[in-house]
Amino acid sequence: MRHDKLVHVLLLGCTLAGANRDAPAAWSTVGPLAEATATSDQARFATASGAIVLVSFITADVVHVRMSPGEPGREMSYAIAAPQHPLAITMRDADADGRIVLSTQAARSARVIIQTRPQLAITVFDGKGGLVLADDAARPMAMDPATAAIEVSKQRDTSELYYGFGEKAMPLSRHQQYLTMWNSDTPKYAPGLDPLYQDIPFFIALRQGASYGLFFDNTYRSYFDMGKTDPARYTFGASGGELDYYVFTGGDSRSPANVLRDYSALTGRTPLPPLWSLGYQQSRYSYTPDARVREIGHEFRARHIPADVIHLDIDYMDGYRVFTWSPKDFSEPQKLIGDLATVHFKVVTIVDPGVKVDLNYPIYRDGRERGVYVRNAAGDELHAAVWPGECAFPDFTDAAARAWFGSLYGAFLDLGVAGFWNDMNEPATFPPQRSDEPILAHDPGKTFALDARHAGDGAPGTHARYHNVYGMQMARSTFEGIAKLRPERRPLVLTRAGYSGVQRYAAVWTGDNVASWEHLALTIPMLTNLSISGVPFVGADIGGYAGSPSAELYARWLQAASLTPFFRTHAEIGSADREPWSYGPEFERINRATIELRYRLLPYLYTLFAEHEANGDAVLRPLWFEYPADVRTYLLDDQFLLGRDLLVAPVLVSGAVQRRVYFPQGDAWIDWWNGARHQGGTFADVAAPLDRLPLFVRAGAAVPVQPAIEHTDQMSGVPLTLLVALGADGHSHLFQDAGDGYGYRNGESRNVQIALYRNALSLRAESARSASRRVQRIGFVEFLGLDAAPKRVSIDGRIVRDFSFDAATRRLRVGTSGDNVREILLER
C-alpha cells in the first residue's frame, strides 16, 4: 500500500479517475521478475504482480518501454507518424546481482539495464555509457487495480531542468512544477493555470550541457511531478492505459537538437506550409458584415501595410451552423472572396466541431444517417450545448467520421476559402447553468462526460481515453480532407487543441490570452516550449485576445510576434479596434515598419520551415537549445532565437526604451540596426526606442532578406539580398521553391549553400528542373559589421565598383550583377 502517494496526489487536486476520496488507492508495484524472454526485436519481462514490461529499441538512441498491468493490448497510437521497425536486440542473462543488459548491435547503441529484484527497475545509458535516467527504487513502476491508474518515478538530480510539455503558462523550465495533461477550454487564463488548450507529454531534460528526452504516450488524463513534491525524483502517470514511454538519449553529443530530431522522426514533422501562410494575418471576433471585411482589406492596401490573410470568426455563419454562410451578412461569399483575391488576400474561416441538432439542417441530418457522431454511455447520440445551441459532435477517432467531415470542406474550397481554423475542439462545451455552484476554470461540464463512447479506430473506448486526441483528430480530418480535395495545394489548418503529433496536421496558437504586459512576456516561454515540443508553426494572438491593449502594448507585442512563425492579430468581441492603423499616424508608421521587417525576413523563415521538414530542426528556439553548454541561457525567458542565426530580444515592459540583452557564449553577435559587435558570453544594454525591435545576427551567418513588399504574391518579382554578418567563419543555407504545391519533393526547388571564410563569401546553387525559373534571384550582398569600407571588392576574381558603404550602420552593399556569382572577396 502506498498511502503517501495517494496523499500527495490528493493535495495537488489531481485525484485519479475513479479513486475513492474516502479510502486510499490500492497501489502495488510491479514486483520482482518472474520470467524474461526475448524475440528478435523485443524483450519481455513478466513480473510477480502479473504486470508485463516490454523493452525495444526504435533506433540505437531511442528506447521504447511499455508496462501493462496485465497482458498488453494491441499497440495503437495517434502520436506515432508511421509503423515502427525496432532494431534487433541483444539480451544478456542476469548476472549475480540480478541485472539483465539489453542493447543493439549498433556500434554506439544505448544500453538498458533491467534490475530484476527486489523490484523490476529500468536504467538507460547512452552509447558512451553515460547515465541517462533510472527508475527510483523507492517509487518503482506501480499500478492501482481499483482505478486502473499507473505511474513511475525516476531519479532526479536537483539541478536538472525540463522543457517542453506543449502549451503551459509556466516559467521557461518546468522543474519543480506539477503539470496535468488534459485539454481544457481556459479563456483569459492566468499565468500558472494548468492545464490549457493542448498538451504534449514530451519533455527535454538538461543538466550540465547534456540532454535527453522522454515522451509518455498515454492519452488518458496524465500528470508529471517534475520534482515539486520531492526534488530527488520526478514522477509521471495516468488515470488509465499503459505506462508507455520513449527515452531519447540524444546520441553521442547528448544534444537537445538530436533529441528533438529523434522525437519528431517518431511523431512526425510539419510539412512545408504555403508561403502565404507565413505572412501577416488579421482577425477579430468578428469582422461582420461583408462590407466590413472589404473595408479591412482596402485599408491595408491603401495604407501600404503588408498583409496576406483575413480571418472570419463565427459570425459569418448562419446561426453558427458549420459550413454555412449568413444570408444577411454574407449573402455573396464567393464574390467577397473573389474580390479579396484580386487585391491578394486569402480568407481563412473558423470551423467548430459542434453540428447543430436540427433535422432541417442537411449536414446534421447526413451525419446522423451515417452514424458518425459521438455516443453517450447509453449508446445514444451525445448532445451538448455550444454556440449553435444543442449540438452533436463527429467522432474524429472514427475514420469514416473523419472522411465525412473532411469532405464538407469542399464547398468552401470551391468558393475560394484558402485555410481553416479549428476552434472549440478540446472539445469544449457550455457547462449547464447552476445557481448553487460556480463555473470553474476546469469545470467538468465544459467537455463531454468521461463515459461517452468513441470508436477509437478499432480500439473502442471512453472519452476518458480519447479526450486528449479529439482536437488533434479534428485537425487530421481537416488536413486530410483538404489534401484529398485539393491535392495540388498545401493545406493551412490552425487548431486550438492538440496532442503529440498534431504538428503533422496543423499550426497552433496559445488560445484566448489577455491584453496585458504579463501575457506578452508569457508568450516567449510558451511559444519556445511549444516549438521544442515538436510543433514549429506556433503563435499567440497579438495584443492579447481579451481586453483592449494600449497603443504601446500593441506596438511592442507586434514587434515580439513579428519573428514568431504564426503572425496574427486577434481580438474578442466588444474590444476596441485593433488594426495596425487603429492607434493614430505615429503608431501606424511604427507598426507598418514592424510588419515590413517580417516580410523582409520571409525568405529566411521559409528556409527554416524547409529545414524542419527535412531534419526536425526547431524554427523558434530558446537560447539553451542552441547553447546547452552555457548555463546562463538555461532560465533566460525574455529572448529567443529564430533558427540559429537571429537573436530576438523584444521589449516586454511598459515605458522601456532600452533593455539588457545576453549574448550566448560561443558566438559573436552583430546588431541588425547599427552593426555593433557583441562578444558571446556578455551582457549589454542596447537601445530599444519604441520603433525598434532589438535584433542581432550571429557572426558568420548569411541571412536572406528581400525588400519590403505588401503581400507574398510579390516575392517572385523582387531580388534577394544576402545579409552577411562578418567576424567569424560560418555556413548557411537558402531554400527556394514555388511557394505552394509539392514540386519541391520532386526536386523542383533551389538550394543555395553559403560559406563565409574570413573575408571571402562563396555561393553554390543547386537547382533542378523548372524551379530555377520561378525563384528569386540574389541581387545584392550586404556585409554587416565593417568598421570601414574595404580597399577592394572582387567578384569571381574581377574587381567591381558597384558597392556602397554606410558608416552609420556598418554595412557594405555589393551588387552581384546576376545570379551566377561564386565568390565575393573583400580586401580590407
CA 326, CA 322: separation in Å to the nearest integer? Answer: 11
Query: Which residues are CB-neighbours of 4 under 8 A, at least 6 positions away?
Result: none
- Residue in 61, 217, 225, 423 annotated catalytic: 423
Q: String of b and e for 652-674 (b: at least 16 CB within 10 Å)?
A: beeeeeebebbbbeebbbbbbbe
Task: Please name which of 275, 412, 293, 401 lies closest in space to residue 350, comparing C-alpha atoms.
Answer: 412
Under a CB-based contact definition with an 8 Å cutoff, are residues 42 and 112 in contact?
A: no
- The answer to whether 423 is a known catalytic residue is yes
Under a CB-based contact definition with an 8 Å cutoff, are residues 173 and 234 in contact?
A: no
Task: Please name which of 552, 558, 614 lies closest in space to residue 270, comparing C-alpha atoms.
Answer: 614
Query: Which residues are CB-neighbours of 253 under 8 A, at least 6 positions away?
Result: none
CA 416, CA 184: separation in Å to the nearest integer? Answer: 32
First CA to last CA distance, the chain: 76
Under a CB-based contact definition with an 8 Å cutoff, are residues 269 and 504 in contact?
A: yes
Under a CB-based contact definition with an 8 Å cutoff, are residues 556 and 594 in contact?
A: no
- The answer to whether 579 is a known catalytic residue is no
Query: Which residues are CB-neighbours of 354 under 8 A, at least 6 positions away?
Result: 322, 384, 386, 387, 388, 391, 392, 393, 424, 429
The one-letter code for the residue type at 197 is Y
Q: Taken in order 325, 329, 330, 331, is the CA torsion positive or negative?
A: positive
C-beta neighbour count of 429 within 10 angstroms: 23
Side-chain-side CA neighbours of residue 166 (13 Å) = 32
Q: Where are the beta strands (DSSP E) in 337-404?
A: 346-351, 355-356, 384-386, 389-392
- Residue in 126, 512, 667, 737 annotated catalytic: 512
- The answer to whether 426 is a known catalytic residue is yes
- Residue in 126, 217, 313, 426 annotated catalytic: 426
Helix, strand, or coil (residue 135): strand
Q: How far is CA 744 from CA 82, 365, 764, 814, in A?
A: 22, 42, 18, 30
CA 429, CA 391: separation in Å to the nearest integer? Answer: 9
CA 264, CA 273: separation in Å to the nearest integer? Answer: 17
DSSP H/E element including 473: helix 463-485
Side-chain-side CA neighbours of residue 535 (13 Å) = 37
Q: What pairing do the DSSP bridges indicate for beta strands 620-621 and 640-642?
A: antiparallel
C-beta neighbour count of 128 within 10 angstroms: 12
CA 695, CA 7: separation in Å to the nearest integer? Answer: 49
Under a CB-based contact definition with an 8 Å cutoff, are residues 385 and 396 in contact?
A: no
Q: String of b and e for 2-36 (b: at least 16 CB within 10 Å)?
A: beebbeebeeeebbbeebeeeebbbbbbbbbbeeb
CA 492, CA 15: separation in Å to the nearest integer? Answer: 39
Catalytic residues: 423, 426, 512
